Structure 1
């Protein structure tokens, strides 16, 4: 069973925290490299395993979105209790969770990779009905350009959880105008999971915060494990330092 990841921090960056969230149907595997990079640099890091994840897709099918948010918010609050400054970071659905925390708490900044706020599959709009006749659909994991990389996502995607994800997206989009923290978004030019409409929603709603978009030319959806991962790691760390005036 996958576990959460927590690092106390060290050196001059130990009082700067980063709460990190994995994506829908995934686990800490997709974010471990990024978390390790930040921990090695000295940041305090908290990456929870979200409810319904790291076990079976049947568990995820029974989990309301509020429990995913609860787990990520708890990671943020744990860091806020011991750090001077806290950032939030997320991949895909984790991006939506990070944005929701940023709307409701005083984060110093937001770093996102291919954040999800809309669906590519039009069937998602009917997931509330489909869940009664269709328990699961093929997996959405491993959209990675680099060869032989496995993110450890579920082998099936539960339709009931897609319905919960849709509710999370709707709720988060509504809260976007409340975000004032600078937001850094890494966006793959080819993403087979999250459509460009997610970025359109983000741009439209995030009008009270500075938004910086960084294109990733050599990665697919799970860019944190793909060819552009080193760019994500280094540029996000610079973003965190810059927004806490840490050197």
Structure 2
């Protein structure tokens, strides 16, 4: 499906060439790369090579998203992963919300991934399972769940019901294979999240087979924590985690 709508300003994919350590950063469902750009820029400033793909059907118009499948979204991150593989010897993956789901997906498909950093990742959202029965074509927006009143997420103002069916398929696929993940994991979870129940992150922690796994609780952010008050904590702790994993490997 060719995209009919122009990419919104601020929703473009981003790439930063750096050293041989690559970091893939994925945005979430109905959102855009704007939610992950501050992290991408911080990781690039630290010297890493960064890829922030735009998921197909995102960052344009919600009618565009309606025509895409979860396979389109996995293909978008696979393409970004390949871009990094062509340039880097070691790759880390992080993502917000469905971007966190896609982070888990990539770790299942590519065991060579060095470590993952899911942020308020989605594997089980009961309200979305129920929404599938609704006859309407579009539902209200779910974007911009941010505690900081001065910040707005660049996200769609409607949610396609067809897309909810697709994310449900993706979550079910990832959830049943969580045990396959063995790489180190740093899991961020907001205590108050109005989109993805925080127990998703606890489920991920329980189910993945990683020996080295740690959860960091974000006390001052809602769902889009990457744009919220705790953004500096996410950046700082991620950089420390990456350094720790790389040093462990070097020993």
Task: Confirm or deny: 8 A CA contact 1:120 1:193 kept in the other structure.
Answer: no
Instruction: Give, in whole Å, the separation in 2 of the partners of 1:153 and 1:219.
Output: 17
Q: Tell me, yes or no, if the aligned pair for 1:193 and 1:221 is still in contact at 8 Å.
A: yes
Instruction: Give the structure-1-normalised TM-score.
Output: 0.93
Paired with 2:181 and 2:57, the residues of 1 have a C-alpha distance of 27
TM-score (norm 2): 0.91
Q: Shift of residue 128 of structure 1?
A: 4.2
1:210 to 206, 209, 212: 212
Q: Give 2:17's aligned residue.
A: 8
The alpha-carbon deviation at position 53 of structure 1 amounts to 0.2
Compare 193-202 and 220-229 and name the one that shifted more: 193-202
Q: Residue 96 of structure 1: which of 96, 101, 108 is its match?
A: 101
Cα drift, residue 77 of structure 1: 1.8
Would you say the 8 A contact 1:23–1:93 is kept in 2?
Answer: yes
Give the C-alpha shift of residue 151 in structure 1: 0.9
| Equivalent residue number for residue 129 of structure 2 | 125
For the residue of structure 1 that corresponds to 2:51, the secondary structure is: strand
Q: 3-state DSSP class of the match of 1:243?
A: helix
Q: What are the residue-to-residue correspondences of 1:1-247 with 2, within 5 Å? A: 1=7, 2-9=11-18, 14-105=19-110, 106-121=112-127, 124-130=128-134, 133-245=135-247
- Between the aligned partners of 2:133 and 2:221, the Cα distance in structure 1 is 34
Question: 1:140 aligns to what SS in structure 2?
Answer: coil
Aligned pair count reads 239
CA contact (8 A) 2:56 2:72 kept: yes
Question: Does the C-alpha gap of structure 1 residues 208 and 182 become closer, same or farther in structure 2, counting only changes over 3 Å?
Answer: closer
Which structure 2 segments of 5+ residues have no match? 1-6
Structure 1, unaligned runs of 5 or more: none
